[in-house]
Amino acid sequence: MIQGLGPCDPGSNPGTLTKNINRYKRTLMNTEVNQNKMAKEDGITSKKSKNFSEWYTQIVVKGDLADYSPVKGCMIIKPSGYKIWENIQAYFNIILKKYNVKNAYFPLFIPESFFKKETEHAKGFQPEVAWIANKEDERLAVRPTSETIIYDTYSKWIRSWRDLPFRLNQWCNVVRWETKATKLFLRTREFLWQEGHCVYSTKEEADKEMLLILKEYQKLCHELLAIPVLAGKKTEKEKFAGALYTTSIEAFMPENKALQMGTSHNLGQGFAKSFNISYLGKDEKLHTPWQTSWGISTRLIGALAMMHGDDKGLVLPPRIAPIQIIIIPIFFDKDKKKVLKVANKIKDFLKDFSIEIDKREEYTPGWKFNEWELKGVPLRIEIGPKDVSKKQVVLVRRDTSEKQAIKIKDINKKVSNLLEDIQKNLFNKANQFLKESIVKVKTWKEFLKAVNNRKLIRAPFCGDISCEDSIKDKTNGVKSINIPFDSNPEGYCVNCGKKAAYEVYFAKSY
Amino acid sequence: MIQGLGPCDPGSNPGTLTKNINRYKRTLMNTEVNQNKMAKEDGITSKKSKNFSEWYTQIVVKGDLADYSPVKGCMIIKPSGYKIWENIQAYFNIILKKYNVKNAYFPLFIPESFFKKETEHAKGFQPEVAWIANKEDERLAVRPTSETIIYDTYSKWIRSWRDLPFRLNQWCNVVRWETKATKLFLRTREFLWQEGHCVYSTKEEADKEMLLILKEYQKLCHELLAIPVLAGKKTEKEKFAGALYTTSIEAFMPENKALQMGTSHNLGQGFAKSFNISYLGKDEKLHTPWQTSWGISTRLIGALAMMHGDDKGLVLPPRIAPIQIIIIPIFFDKDKKKVLKVANKIKDFLKDFSIEIDKREEYTPGWKFNEWELKGVPLRIEIGPKDVSKKQVVLVRRDTSEKQAIKIKDINKKVSNLLEDIQKNLFNKANQFLKESIVKVKTWKEFLKAVNNRKLIRAPFCGDISCEDSIKDKTNGVKSINIPFDSNPEGYCVNCGKKAAYEVYFAKSY
């Protein structure tokens, strides 16, 4: 083994070592780095349309969002990926403020007895809990979700109608001991999320705010991530363990699989009863309140990569991109000063955007083009000596590769419009795909045909858990996604032929 | 037990149940709430000068910064406390950007074998590690600090001189299984912090940036928290396990105990060697880099409470306070509309500050005064019908209780100046206390006298670990705090009489 490279950890991406060795070799032969294009193995070597899974791993790892970790099932979120998460946090913290939800922090550990208090919840989460082997009398779980530890506290804090509505949120890490293969951002044993936990005096209030949050999640996906999502209610089989009912937003990925992007639960009064949460009403009697909980996670970053990425790497929507604009100055020694001066001026003009200049001299412009395309930066500005003399720059869109020369004096407005256009274009493309993926069926034959075509199927359904199990068995894993809010309850269940309760979206999912 | 109150958890503050029962009773007899003052037991019932420890717990819990949790040794950070942490994060994220340090996120779990790689580090942390009892072959630690998991990754990421300096930070939770009694914010099994991890090609760069960060920590304490701190180097005995040397900032609390507020380590090349981090230099040879790590934690929130709080509750410096100004409208029914209109106008005038109006009608103004004093809001604005007709409001400072009527037209400038004045006053008071607490000694007799007077002692010291152990033994726990940067190496060790290596601050500490 080459000294200094370190062992290839069993948990790490098999591609990493190869990549490292190659980088090492190139470093040794400095001239090789200075070729016009990035070495092939540093770019994306799989096609989105051919080997989606390998392509996804490559754009995430090589696009610098995340890396595999030596701890099996866990991931490392790299600075670009973490910045996307910070952008989501910043956006959502404003929403939280609007609804008067305050941030707080509860312990990572949950006593075992707490889980047992809400039977359904315990049944749902116990299998994937990681336990601490410490010297305490009682086993401690590493939180897979925090309902139980938080509601125990709420039983002490909430006393009277004056305390309601009571609304808290926490940003934290959670752990679910997945046994299936790791998929960066989508299925890891640890992930980051926010979990909101609210308490109301009536079911109506809980229903209303649960839905408001779901709509905010939908808006976040549409406006920030440029990912269209379907809002609806989960079936009995798929609802959150312990909830009265669950609503969700769901995206359909280019691999023709549905991805749950966020959930908002009306927990009913079950947790309140199990954890002794009650409040004194204006009528001076004790009442049991209603509760909601809701969450989105770092999974959204994976969705972002999957949805918009292409065979050259990531394609990030401008509103969420860590770097919105990259300036590549192009020069030989004699023009260097002149070109860099203009580059700096442009950066200053555009200081309201997240913008950087790639001034590195050890890489060629061509190499840099490839690297920033790989990282998904929405807009590239090229400035060469000729551009300087013409008082222009060249703008290159990441999403369409369109190139245009524009006068420097118009740059602010032009860039602003272009970024908005890129944002819209990405949403529209994704929305077009979603629309084309949906197939409405009425019969089992049509259903099976749609399954074979890997569609997002909208079908009348009876609502029975056993019937849903049967569909899953007969289709090698097709699951209910959610019940659209505009569901039409007419017709007959696509599987059992009983009177339908509602329409349901069905698909393979992550 | 009264129905709905829930059991008194063993982990919770014994005062909580009593408080809850009392609140419950008052709620039942609504008129009792409407008394002019807060019920005595809801206020602070201990004196800072008499029973500091009980006083501290009360201001933290009743001042709504934090609460005890049902998990022994863990705490719940309440919204006010968490907002202070978010303010610290916002401030420090700007510093990180200035030094080109990027945020990332590494796994919560660390394989046992990683700890063993750096011997001193393992010895230092192993005793307080919590372990996961899972089905993996290797035990996993819940991170007490992340050097090992991060540096294993660095060994894969860092290849050439082009990658250096390499600077990352993460904001996360860490777990250290403390066996001593819990002290909210100061000693809990889980806490939140940031940990910076940087890699440099030379010792000089590592020295320089390690110190720059320490100075930024000092500035944060001085300018944001209004807490003066002493910057210096830790002795060999007290340095971070695995570091070449450690620097720290240290505050002296009103209980006459030193509190470590932040540390910045030059890790030397030890970790790099243990984790196989190397880089290819411009000379085309492999080199071992130099590393630093540095951190501050939610402990700072505890320091804030201790340092400035008084017998009425918290006193928060304006620059860090979650709410800087509270407006209390004072009215009977007939004036309500008029007074609230002016209150809203004032809030709008002062919208650049963090400001709220307490419009609740179920509490009297007097009760509200007490509550917001308890929570430490720096400035109170009272507006009654008489004030409205005189076009004035009354400002009341939390730190000095000074009252003054001012014309509404002058309010913006006046409030701005007043908040700055409060910030300065709190720092000056704390700084005065620090200065008065420091005693320079040369002999063991003087040393012992200063120990008895609970002073922060500056004394010449030989530097030997065994001599430091001996001082600790002979004084029932007095420890070295740090070695001031302007240390005078003349004279003889206060304990053993050998030639002194430097001066050291000694004190009891948390």
Q: What is the pLDDT of residues B471-490, one digit of tens each?
A: 999 999 999 999 999 998 88
Domain B325-434 CATH assignment equals 3.40.50.800: yes
Helices A79-98, A299-308: axis angle to 10 degrees equals 110
Q: Closest to B159 (Cβ–Cβ): which among A3, A23, A278?
A: A23
Is pLDDT larger for residue A2 or for residue A326? A326
A66 with A77: CB under 8 angstroms? yes
Spell out the residues 6+ positions from residue B475 whose beta carbon is closer than 8 angstroms to its own: B448, B451
Q: Closest Cα partner for A57 from A422, A403, A314?
A: A314
| Chain B residue with the nearest C-alpha to that of A79 | B104
Q: Which two tokens stand for residue A358?
A: 């790639």
Q: B134 falls in which pLDDT band (50, 70, 90)?
A: low
pLDDT at B216: 98
pLDDT at B133: 79
CA distance A498 to chain B (A): 44
Bin B284: left if φ > 0, else alpha if -120 < ψ < 50, else beta.
left
d(CA A187, CA A56): 13
Test the B interface: residue of A75, A109, A131, A189 with most B CBs within 10 Å: A109
Q: Closest to A177 (Cβ–Cβ): which among B134, B149, B362?
A: B134
- Indicate yes or no: CB of B149 within 8 angstroms of CB of A69: yes
- Write out pLDDT tens, residues A335-366: 999 999 999 999 999 999 999 999 999 899 99
Strand ranges of the sheet holding A438-440, from the earlier edge strand across to the other edge: A438-440, A456-461, A502-507, A479-480
Tell me what the mean pLDDT of segment B313-320 comes to.
98
> Where exactly are the structural domains of chain B?
14-63, 81-108+146-308, 325-434, 441-507
- Indicate yes or no: CB of A160 within 8 angstroms of CB of B75: no
Q: A39 falls in which pLDDT band (50, 70, 90)?
A: confident
Q: Which two tokens stand for residue A337?
A: 């000063």
CA distance A250 to chain B (A): 26
pLDDT at A327: 98
pLDDT at A45: 95
- Which residues in chain A are closer than 8 Å to B198, comparing Cβ atoms? none
Tell me what the mean pLDDT of segment B116-136 comes to.
86
- Which residues in chain B are closer than 8 Å to A86, comparing Cβ atoms? 103
State whether residue A269 sits within 8 Å of chain B by CB.
no
d(CA B310, CA B373): 10
Using a pLDDT cut of 70, give the percent of chain A over it. 92
- Write out pLDDT tens, residues B428-473: 999 999 999 999 999 999 999 999 999 999 999 999 999 999 999 9
d(CA A260, CA A479): 12
Q: Which two tokens stand for residue A166?
A: 């009571």
- Write out pLDDT tens, residues A140-165: 999 999 999 999 999 999 999 999 99
A17 with B161: CB under 8 angstroms? no
Using CB atoms and an 8 Å cut-off, which of residues 51-70 of chain B contact chain A?
A: 67, 69-70
Q: Which two tokens stand for residue A168?
A: 């808290």
Tell me what the mean pLDDT of segment B281-301 comes to.
97
B262 with B249: CB under 8 angstroms? yes
Residue B326: is its pLDDT beyond 80? yes
Q: A489 falls in which pLDDT band (50, 70, 90)?
A: confident
Q: Closest Cα partner for B372 from B151, B83, B64?
A: B64
3-state helix, strand, coil in chain A (%, to 5): 40, 25, 35
pLDDT at A122: 87
- Which residues in chain A are closer than 8 Å to B22, comparing Cβ atoms? none
- Which residues in chain B are closer than 8 Å to A83, comparing Cβ atoms? 102-103
Residue A85: is its pLDDT beyond 50? yes
- Indicate yes or no: CB of A23 within 8 angstroms of CB of B103: no
DSSP track, B32-97: HHTSSS--GGGS--S-TTT-HHHHHHHHHHHTTSEEE-SSTT-EEE-HHHHHHHHHHHHHHHHHHH
Residue A442: is its pLDDT beyond 90? yes
pLDDT at A267: 98
Residue A23: is its pLDDT beyond 50? no
CA distance B502 to chain A (A): 39
Spell out the residues 6+ positions from residue A418 whose beta carbon is closer than 8 angstroms to its own: A379, A395, A397
| Chain B residue with the nearest C-alpha to that of A273 | B4
- Indicate yes or no: CB of B108 within 8 angstroms of CB of A362: no
Q: A402 falls in which pLDDT band (50, 70, 90)?
A: very high
d(CA B24, CA B17): 10
- Write out pLDDT tens, residues B150-199: 999 999 999 999 999 999 999 999 999 988 999 999 999 999 999 999 99
d(CA B304, CA B378): 13
* Tokens 């929403």 sit on residue: A95
- Whats the size of chain B, residue-wise? 510
Backbone angles phi, psi at B279, to 5 degrees: -140, 150
Q: Which two tokens stand for residue B270?
A: 């030890």
Using CB atoms and an 8 Å cut-off, which of residues 80-119 of chain A contact chain B?
A: 82-83, 85-86, 102-111, 114
Residue type, A449: K
- Indicate yes or no: CB of A168 within 8 angstroms of CB of B104: no
The long-range contacts involving B439-446, CB below 8 angstroms and separated by at least 24 positions, are B441/B494, B442/B491, B442/B494, B443/B494, B444/B494, B444/B495
Q: What is the 3-state secondary structure (H, E, C) of A259-300?
A: EEEEEEEEEECHHHHHCCCCEECCCCCEECCEEEEEEEECHH
Spell out the residues 6+ positions from residue B125 whose beta carbon is closer than 8 angstroms to its own: B115, B144, B145, B176, B241
Give the containing element (helix H, strand E) for A503: strand A502-507
- Indicate yes or no: CB of B276 within 8 angstroms of CB of A162: no
B233 with B485: CB under 8 angstroms? yes
DSSP track, A422-459: HHHHHHHHHHHHHHHHEEE--SHHHHHHHHHTT-EEEE
d(CA B122, CA B106): 19
Q: Closest to B153 (Cβ–Cβ): which among A20, A76, A85?
A: A76
Distances (CA, A) of A170 to A150, A318, B87: 10, 27, 16
* Tokens 């007043």 sit on residue: B418
Strand pairing report for B102-103 and B166-175 = parallel
B78 with A104: CB under 8 angstroms? yes
d(CA B210, CA B204): 10
- Indicate yes or no: CB of B102 within 8 angstroms of CB of A82: yes
d(CA B382, CA B366): 11
Q: Closest Cα partner for B195 from B90, B73, B92, B84?
A: B92
Q: B37 falls in which pLDDT band (50, 70, 90)?
A: low
Tell me what the mean pLDDT of segment B294-303 comes to.
98
What is the architecture, at CATH level 2, of domain B441-507?
Answer: 2-Layer Sandwich (3.30)
State whether residue A285 sits within 8 Å of chain B by CB.
no
- Indicate yes or no: CB of B177 within 8 angstroms of CB of A134: yes
Strand partners, A130: A142
Residue A223: is its pLDDT beyond 80? yes
Q: Closest to B104 (Cβ–Cβ): which among A78, A110, A159?
A: A78
Residue B371: is its pLDDT beyond 80? yes
CA distance A39 to chain B (A): 16
Strand partners, A174: A191
Residue B362: is its pLDDT beyond 90? no
What is the architecture, at CATH level 2, of domain B81-108+146-308?
Answer: 2-Layer Sandwich (3.30)
B206 with B228: CB under 8 angstroms? no
Residue A503: is its pLDDT beyond 50? yes
A26 with A33: CB under 8 angstroms? yes
Instruction: For chain A, count helices (H), then strands (E).
Output: 16, 24
State the Cα torsion A468-A473-A478-A481 to the nearest 10°: 20
ipTM: 0.92
CB pairs under 8 A between A and B: 183
DSSP class of A500: P
pTM for the whole structure: 0.92
Q: Closest Cα partner for B235 from B272, B271, B260?
A: B260
B203 with B291: CB under 8 angstroms? no
| Chain B residue with the nearest C-alpha to that of A62 | B157
Average model confidence (pLDDT) for chain A?
Answer: 92
State whether residue B22 sits within 8 Å of chain A by CB.
no
Spell out the residues 6+ positions from residue A62 whose beta carbon is closer than 8 angstroms to its own: A19, A42, A43, A44, A313, A374
Tell me what the mean pLDDT of segment A197-226 comes to.
98
Report the topology of domain A79-308. Answer: BirA Bifunctional Protein; domain 2 (3.30.930)
Lowest mean pLDDT among A32-46, A77-91, A490-504, B416-430: A32-46
CA distance B41 to chain A (A): 16
- Indicate yes or no: CB of A134 within 8 angstroms of CB of B130: yes
Strand ranges of the sheet holding B403-407, from the earlier edge strand across to the other edge: B355-357, B325-329, B379-383, B392-397, B403-407
- Write out pLDDT tens, residues A447-465: 999 999 999 999 999 999 9
Q: A137 falls in which pLDDT band (50, 70, 90)?
A: confident
Spell out the residues 6+ positions from residue B438 whose beta carbon is closer than 8 angstroms to its own: B455, B456, B457, B458, B505
Q: B204 falls in which pLDDT band (50, 70, 90)?
A: very high
- Whats the size of chain A, residue-wise? 510
Q: Closest to A74 (Cβ–Cβ): which among B12, B109, B131?
A: B109
Residue A166: is its pLDDT beyond 90? yes
3-state helix, strand, coil in chain B (%, to 5): 40, 25, 35
- Indicate yes or no: CB of B153 within 8 angstroms of CB of A280: no
- Indicate yes or no: CB of B156 within 8 angstroms of CB of A106: no
Is pLDDT larger for residue B350 or for residue A116? B350
CA distance A33 to chain B (A): 12
Q: Closest to A70 (Cβ–Cβ): which among B6, B27, B111?
A: B111
State whether residue A4 sits within 8 Å of chain B by CB.
yes
- Indicate yes or no: CB of A104 within 8 angstroms of CB of B110: no
State whether residue A362 sits within 8 Å of chain B by CB.
yes
Cα dihedral A5, A10, A14, A15 sign: negative
pLDDT at B488: 87
Backbone angles phi, psi at A347, to 5 degrees: -60, -40
d(CA B280, CA B288): 9
Q: Which two tokens stand for residue B446?
A: 């003087």
Q: Closest to B278 (Cβ–Cβ): which among A4, A132, A192?
A: A4
